[in-house]
Amino acid sequence: MQNLDKESIVLVLGQAAKLEESDDRVGGDRSLAGRILAPLFYQPAPWARASFESAMLRLGGQVLSAWGLVNPPLPRGALALSEVASAASAHADVIVQRHPDVYSAHEAAKGASVPVINGADGTHEDPVQALTDLYTLVKERGGIDGLSIAMVGDLRHSPVVHSLARGLTHWDVELSLVSTPSLKMATVITVPLKRSIPVTETEDLASALETCDVLYLAERRTSVAGGQYGLEGLQLGEAVGERSGREITLMRSQPTDTAAAHGLENFFDVATQRQVTNGIRVRMAVLSLLLA
C-alpha cells in the first residue's frame, strides 16, 4: 500500500464498481480470455486463493493449477524466490504470491517478467485485502471521510491491518488501535500513521466502541502470546454489552467464525459476507487493470 497514492486506490475502487455492475447485469466481463494466472501460495489461505481464482475465471481467464500445490516446496531467500517467479513467468501472464517471509513479494518480482501481486508477505502487508476493505467501507458507510475506525486484536502480526491502516491515511479518518500490550502495532507503522491521521492506541475497547463507526477485528489463526486470536484479553463480550447502541459496522480480516463465537452478530451489522463478495470484485479490478 505504500506504493499506492490515493489516485491509484480510487482507480482500483472505481474499476471494481464497474466490474460489479457488469458482472451483475450483463453477464460478466471476458476481457482476460486467454490470459493465465499462476497462484504461488506457499501458505494455506483457501479464502484468499479462492477469491483470486474466482476473479480470474470471472474475467474469462484461466488458472494454472500446476503451481497451486497443497504443500509446495518453500523457497527461502531472494535467489530462490526470484528463480521460481522467473519460471512461473514463462507459464503465466500474472503471478499472485503468498509467502511467510517479509518482503518475499518484492524478491519474487525481481525475477518475474510478468506482474506479481502480493497476496500477503508474512506479517508485512496484504494490500489487495486492504483494497477490498476500503471498497467495503465505501459500500457499507457511503464513503470513508469522517469515519472513526477501531482496529481490534492482533495488530502486530496481521498484514491486513498494516496495509489497511496505511491506505486509510489518504482519507480524513480517526483510527483507534485496540490490543493487548504484546500485540500492539509496531512503531515502524504507527509513527508514520500518526503524522497523517489521528491515532489512539489503547487497551480500552469499551471507550473505542463509544465513538467508532466501524469495528475491525484483526484475527490470527495461530497461537501467539496474548491469545489465539489476540482478542481474549480485551473482554470483547463485556465491552460490547456495555456499548452505547450506536450503529457500528463489523468487519474482519478473514471470514472466520470468531465473531459468532463472541456473539457479536447480535450487536452489529456484520459485513463479513459482503467483504467476501467485494474481495472478488476488487481482485477482478486489480487483474483487469494489470492485464486488460
CATH of 6-122+276-291, one of 3.10.20.90, 3.40.50.1370, 3.50.50.60, 3.90.870.10: 3.40.50.1370
| pLDDT cut 70: percent of the chain above it | 79
Cell of 241: 454489552
253: pLDDT confidence band, cut at 50, 70 and 90?
confident
Q: How many CB atoms lie within 10 A of CB 117?
A: 21
Calculate mean pLDDT across residues 253-275: 66
**94 vs 241 pLDDT, higher one:** 94
Task: For 271, list phi and psi in degrees, rounded to 5.
Answer: -100, 10
**pLDDT score for 287:** 98
Question: Which three-class secondary structure state does DSSP give residue 258?
Answer: helix
* pTM (global) more than 0.85: yes
Q: Work out whether strand 269-270 and strand 62-63 pair parallel, antiparallel, or are unpaired.
A: unpaired
Q: How is residue 173 annotated by DSSP?
A: -
Strand boundaries in the chain, DSSP class E = 36-41, 62-63, 94-99, 116-121, 148-153, 174-178, 199-202, 214-218, 249-252, 269-270
Q: Is the pLDDT score of 230 beyond 90?
A: no
* Dihedral sign, Cα of residue 222, residue 228, residue 231, residue 234: negative
* Domain range list for the chain: 6-122+276-291, 128-272
Please indicate whether residue 86 or residue 248 has the higher confidence score (pLDDT): 86
pLDDT at 225 over 50: no
Cα distance between residue 241 and residue 235, in whole Å: 10
- Give 141's Cβ-side CA count (13 Å radius): 24
| CB of 140 closer than 8 Å to CB of 111 | no
CATH fold, domain 128-272, is Rossmann fold (3.40.50)
Contact present, 97 and 105 (Cβ < 8 Å) = yes
Per-residue pLDDT of 84-124, as tens digits, reads 999 999 999 999 999 999 999 999 999 999 999 999 999 99
pLDDT at 138 over 50: yes
